[in-house]
Amino acid sequence: MFSRLKDQPAVGKLIAQYDQLPRRDQQALGALAVAVFLAILYFAVWQPAAEFQEQAVSARENAGELLAWMQANEQTIRRLGGAGSDTQAASVDKPADGRALMALVTRSAGEAGLSLQRFEPSGEDAIRVWLENAPFAEVAAWLERLSADHGVVIDQAAMDRANEPGRVSVRLTLTI
């Protein structure tokens, strides 16, 4: 392999120039090459490996602390987790598809005293809704009921203040 490398014209020129240098310069160049090699070895191999090892040890310690905390608070976590899922499962009547969502939104808006200016499907399980000059408090209460009682998620919302105090124009994207 070294013989092939020496056969290259550019390498041959470098070797010839190196041979023409005084002995002290050749030694200094050799020491410089060793220093550069060691620097590359340190900065490209050793330091990244050491940093990775430190991060891994830190992550392991954090995971151990989290596990110890979770084990110490297991009963509280189970009680809170169980209570939330029971009440949520009992109270949420989630629409099955986009058509059911559209029916739910139009029916519940009417029940809340809101008139939808426009509504249209947006994909399989979403609907876009526009309300103009609607009371903010009623819109907020309606959205809260949709979320809490039916699991409807507000994907996008834009509210603009109307000319009258307490009234807004609303553009929503609701999903199930």
pLDDT in tens, 137-175: 899 999 998 888 888 888 889 999 888 888 999 999 998
Residues 6+ apart with CB under 8 A from 124: 97, 98
**Is the entire prediction scored with pTM above 0.75?**
no
Q: How confident is the model at residue 92 (pLDDT cuts 50, 70, 90)?
A: low
Q: DSSP string spanning 1-65?
A: -HHHHHHSHHHHHHHHHHHHS-HHHHHHHHHHHHHHHHHHHIIIIIHHHHHHHHHHHHHHHHHHH
Q: What are phi and psi of 162, to 5 degrees?
A: -90, 180
Q: What is residue 82's predicted lDDT score, i.e. its pLDDT?
A: 67
| Average pLDDT score over residue span 79-101 | 65
CB 175 within 8 A of CB 117: no
Sorted by where each begins, the domain ranges of the chain are: 9-65, 98-175
pLDDT at 87 over 50: no
pLDDT at 125: 83
One of 1.20.210.10, 1.10.8.60, 3.30.1360.100, 3.40.640.10 is the CATH number of 98-175, namely 3.30.1360.100
